């Protein structure tokens, strides 16, 4: 268990290295919390390495264990990453349900960063199901949580997603105003990816508005 706890300390900064350790562990020989943690960490490392997992059998090991536990932090993580996998496989309704379970746990421990991730995931699900009203509501909540948690980059990208949500609600002028503010940010932080995404949204706001 000590080895798994150590992995958890660097999974955010170096998720690729997690695979080297976990691949040497036979999860079938583990039981209880060790097995649940191994399943969670592996799924978490995949998501952080931009691997779009669609098989939820592994993360279900974690949710099954932690759903019966008082460990709200790992319960939050388990259901959040289950929501991510379900989103990847196109099961948007199930993803929203799992994200709601993660939200319950995150609220209990007042983890604004993960609340931001959870609400962003829910907003993306509502975008895929053409529920623009809920998409807008949840991305606003995500932006506010990232701001409260002090995650500046996440908050900036959430603002761009907010502009996209306003466009889905046909509020093009508001979307353009947000893009203009973000454009100044992109020039200040010199983030090319952020700037390109911003300019794409800004251009779309004019196109969709018939300008």
Burial 163-183 (b: 16+ CB within 10 A, else e): bbbbbbeebbeebbebbeebb
**Per this entry, what is the length of the chain?**
211
Neighbours of 114 (CB within 10 A): 20
pLDDT of residue 75: 98
Structural contact between residues 153 and 123, judged by C-beta atoms closer than 8 angstroms: no
The pLDDT of 26-51, averaged and rounded, is: 90
Q: What is Dmax (Cα atoms) for the chain?
A: 62
Alpha-carbon distance 169 to 185, whole Å?
A: 24
pLDDT of residue 211: 64
Stretch among 17-21, 42-46, 135-139 having the lowest mean pLDDT: 17-21
Sign (positive/negative) of CA torsion 8, 115, 36, 72? positive
Alpha helices for 11-131 (secondary structure H) = 15-22, 32-48, 57-66, 72-88, 92-108, 112-128
- Closest by CA to 83, choosing from 64, 69, 100, is 100
Check pLDDT > 80 for residue 209: no
Structural contact between residues 175 and 167, judged by C-beta atoms closer than 8 angstroms: yes
pLDDT of residue 15: 82
**Residues 134-140: contacts with CB under 8 Å, at least 24 apart:** 135/165, 135/168, 136/162, 136/165, 136/166, 136/168, 136/169, 139/165
* pTM > 0.75: yes or no: yes
Check pLDDT > 80 for residue 185: no
Check pLDDT > 80 for residue 153: yes
């Amino acid at each position: 268990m000590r080895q798994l706890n150590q992995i958890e300390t660097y999974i955010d900064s170096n998720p690729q290295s997690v695979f080297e350790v976990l691949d040497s562990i036979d999860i079938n020989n583990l039981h209880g919390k060790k097995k649940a943690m191994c399943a969670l960490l592996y799924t978490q490392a995949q998501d952080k390495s931009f691997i779009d997992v669609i098989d939820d059998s592994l993360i279900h090991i974690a949710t099954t264990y932690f759903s019966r536990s008082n460990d709200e932090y790992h319960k939050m993580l388990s259901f959040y990453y289950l929501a991510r996998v379900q989103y990847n496989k196109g099961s948007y309704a199930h993803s929203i349900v799992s994200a709601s379970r993660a939200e319950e746990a995150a609220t209990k421990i007042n983890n604004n960063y993960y609340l931001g991730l959870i609400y962003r995931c829910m907003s993306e699900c509502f975008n895929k199901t053409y529920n623009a009203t809920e998409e807008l509501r949840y991305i606003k909540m995500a932006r506010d949580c990232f701001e409260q948690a002090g995650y500046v980059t996440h908050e900036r990208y959430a603002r761009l997603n907010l502009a996209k949500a306003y466009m889905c609600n046909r509020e093009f002028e508001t979307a353009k105003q947000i893009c203009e503010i973000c454009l100044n940010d992109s020039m200040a932080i010199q983030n090319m990816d952020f700037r390109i995404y911003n300019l794409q949204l800004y251009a779309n706001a004019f196109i969709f508005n018939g300008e």
